[in-house]
Copies of this chain bind each other. A is one copy, B any other.
Amino acid sequence: MKLHQLRYLHEVVKQGLNITSAADALYTSQPGVSKQIQLIEEELGLQIFKRNGKRLTGLTVPGQQIVMLADKVMRDIENIKRVGEEFSDVETGTLTIATTHTQARYKLPAAVKAFMTNYPRVKLNIHQGNPSQVAEQVESGEADIGIATESISERESLLCLPCYHWNRCVVVPHEHPLLQGGPLTLEKLVNYPLITYDFAFTGGTLVSKTFSDAGLTPNVVLTAIDADVIKTYVTLGLGVGLLANMAYDADRDTHLAKIDVDHLFADSTTYLGVRKDAFLRGYMYGFIELIAPHFNRAAVNQALKIAD
């Protein structure tokens, strides 16, 4: 058995059982991939893929287990390489952060700036996506660290560290009726068209739960992944914006008024997630500490150990 064969296997599955595109992704020839798949099936004495004639149509039962194990092997190989990089050249490498727009735009800039100063030779990537995409990227190893509020803390394979708490605010154009008539209530809010994050109402998240617990159905007219987009449409008078407190900038958003809603929604916690089985480079610990100063290297290691 060869590591190459496991890598090929992984890529074929990842590419939706398409050998040709797997070969492309691996920068090698298609017959080579085909051959190696055959060889490993022969060595193991079973079919990993279900086939219809020559087409791959699915994974067999043992195939599923083998692919799972192959993935595990490849993550560990990845970890070995990282150990190598870590010790041969401590300050060089790549850090990929997966996060949501709000975090990337309003919370990370300070940490990123400090990080780039501290580790000038580390290449930094920021992947943006909705919370479940963030979690998936960390799980699959595409990203080293994920930062998000929803869903990341539900993944078994991830260690999640609480970073900070935050709440939401409502933004409206100046002279909007909601600015008068005393404190805002959920009942008042549902009378107006709502513009908010597109994932705020998927899968029983805190916002949707708050409304439904109160027996109310908000009128969500527009959703976006992006606080700036939401604010833009609010400015155009298309509705009332509901977004993270930190996304309102009094200096810049002069054409919008902010209404606190801390009393309507419970605080949310933003988590930072890493794979439990990943080897963390020194600078990754550095980044984590920049975002969540209470998690220094020792604290993270302890959490990893306990979670293991």
| A binding-site residues for B, Cβ under 8 Å | 1-3, 43-46, 60-62, 65-66, 69-70, 72-73, 76-77, 79-81, 83-89, 279
Q: Does A70 lie within 8 Å of B80, measured CB to CB?
A: yes
A1: chain B residues at CB < 8 Å are: 3, 77, 80-81
Of the candidates B2, B60, B76, B81, the one whose C-beta lies within 8 Å of that of A44 is B81
> For the complex, what is the distance from the CA of A279 to the CA of B89, rounded to whole Å?
37
Residue of B whose beta carbon sits closest to that of A65: B83
Give 7 nearest A-B pairs by CB, closest first: A44-B84, A45-B88, A62-B87, A46-B88, A73-B76, A69-B80, A46-B87
Of the candidates B69, B73, B89, the one whose C-beta lies within 8 Å of that of A45 is B89
Q: Does A45 lie within 8 Å of B76, measured CB to CB?
A: no
Q: Does A84 lie within 8 Å of B45, measured CB to CB?
A: yes
A80: chain B residues at CB < 8 Å are: 1, 44, 66, 69-70, 73
A79: chain B residues at CB < 8 Å are: 69
Residue of B whose beta carbon sits closest to that of A156: B308
Residue of B whose beta carbon sits closest to that of A308: B156
Residue of B whose beta carbon sits closest to that of A43: B84
**Nearest chain B CB to A36's CB is how many angstroms away?**
14
> For the complex, what is the distance from the CA of A83 to the CA of B64, rounded to whole Å?
10
Most buried by B among A70, A73, A81, A88: A73
> For the complex, what is the distance from the CA of A70 to the CA of B83, rounded to whole Å?
12
**Nearest chain B CB to A38's CB is how many angstroms away?**
14
Q: Does B81 lie within 8 Å of A76, measured CB to CB?
A: no
**Nearest chain B CB to A181's CB is how many angstroms away?**
54
> For the complex, what is the distance from the CA of A219 to the CA of B89, rounded to whole Å?
60
> For the complex, what is the distance from the CA of A44 to the CA of B84, rounded to whole Å?
5
Q: Does A87 lie within 8 Å of B73, measured CB to CB?
A: no
A3: chain B residues at CB < 8 Å are: 1-3
**Nearest chain B CB to A73's CB is how many angstroms away?**
5
A89: chain B residues at CB < 8 Å are: 45
Of the candidates B46, B60, B76, the one whose C-beta lies within 8 Å of that of A69 is B76
> For the complex, what is the distance from the CA of A69 to the CA of B278, rounded to whole Å?
11
Q: Does B84 lie within 8 Å of A76, measured CB to CB?
A: no
Most buried by B among A45, A70, A87, A89: A87
A279: chain B residues at CB < 8 Å are: 65, 69
**Nearest chain B CB to A217's CB is how many angstroms away?**
39
Residue of B whose beta carbon sits closest to that of A62: B87
Most buried by B among A45, A84, A85, A279: A84
| A76 touching B76 in the complex, CB below 8 Å, given contacts A44-B83, A45-B89, A83-B65 | yes
A88: chain B residues at CB < 8 Å are: 44-46
Q: What are some 10 contacts across the A-B interface (CB < 8 A)?
A: A1-B81, A2-B2, A44-B80, A44-B83, A46-B84, A62-B87, A65-B83, A69-B79, A69-B80, A72-B76
> For the complex, what is the distance from the CA of A79 to the CA of B279, rounded to whole Å?
22
